[in-house]
Amino acid sequence: MQNLKKFYVRAEIRDGEVRGMTVLYDQAAETIMDPVVVVMSSAFTPFPGVSGVALVGPIPKRKVEYGTGIVVSTAGHILTDRQLTEGCNVIVVSGYGDADRQAEDKAADLVLLRIYGAPDLVPATFGEAFKGSDLTLLGIADPQSQGGGSAISAMAAKARGETVGACAAARLSGGAALDGQGRLVGMVELRTTAVANAGAASPQPLATLVPAPTIRTFLEAQRLTPAAAGRLGADAARASLVRVICVRK
C-alpha cells in the first residue's frame, strides 16, 4: 500500500542494470486489477533475448524518440539519421515546430528534413574526408539522461574505420563529428540490431560515422549546395545543431 492506493512492482537486475514495472491503482478497483497485474507481470520481459528466449528481428521502436539534427541550409533543411525518423507520425524540431521529410538515402541512412519560417538558422560547414582516429562528438542527448534538459553534449571518441565507440555515441545519434582540427567531418548514426541466438545478452548499440563526402553527395543530389567554409571548432558546430523528436503511434 502507498497512502490509499495499492501498487505492484516487479524488477530484475542483470549486468548492473535494473529494469522494472510499477502498477498503481485504487483499492476500489482491486477486484479487477489484482488478477490483471499478475498477468502483466507474467508478460513482462525486462531483458529480451535472455534466459533462453530467442530474439529475432529489429528492436521495437520507442513511441517518442529523441535525436540530433544538423542544419544544412538557411532555408530550413536539416540532416539527421534516417532510422531515427522511421515510422514517425510527427517529426518535431525543438523550438521550431513540425518538420517535413524531403528526401532520404537508405544506403547511407540519411534523411533530409525541412522546417519553415526559421530565419535564424546557421548551416554547418562540412570538411574533407576524415583521416585519423580521434573525434569529438557533439549532440543533444535524450532528455531522460540530462534531467529533462536540452544541452549540447561534447565527448571524445575513437574511430576505427567507419565505426565509432558505441559507449561514447550511444545517445548522440544524428550528432556532429569533429576531427582534431575542429572540422566537421561527418555525422554519427546509431545502430541497434537484435540477436537471433537463444541465451544472448541484450544487443549493444553500434555507432557509425557517415563521412562528409557522402553527406555532400546526398545534399548535392537534392540541389543543396553545402555551406562555404566558415569558422571551425566546437562552438561553430554547436550553432548548427537542433533536437529532433519523433512521435510514433
pTM here?
A: 0.72
Alpha helix segments (H runs only) across 119-176? 166-169
Would you state the pLDDT for residue 235?
A: 87
Helix/strand number for the chain, H first, E second: 4, 15
- Residues sharing a CB contact under 8 Å with residue 35, sequence separation 6 or more, in sequence order: none
Give me the half-sphere count of Cα atoms (radius 13 Å) on the Cβ side of residue 202. Answer: 14
Q: How many CB atoms lie within 10 A of CB 181?
A: 10
pLDDT tens figures, 145-176:
777 788 898 888 888 777 887 555 557 889 99
> Is the pLDDT assigned to residue 237 strictly greater than 50?
yes
Q: What is the pLDDT of residues 64-108, one digit of tens each?
A: 999 999 999 999 999 999 999 999 999 999 999 999 999 999 999
* Residue boundaries of the structural domains of the chain: 5-43, 64-247
On average, the pLDDT of the chain sits at 83
Q: pLDDT of 193-205, one tens digit each?
A: 554 444 444 555 6
Question: How many other CB atoms are there within 10 angstroms of residue 125's CB atom?
Answer: 19
Q: What is the CATH number of domain 64-247?
A: 2.40.10.120
How far is residue 98 from each of residues 22, 102, 114, 116, 189, measured CA to CA in Å? 33, 13, 9, 9, 22
- What percent of the chain shows pLDDT beyond 70? 85
pLDDT of residue 66: 92
pLDDT attached to residue 166: 55
Neighbouring-strand partners of residue 78: 71, 113
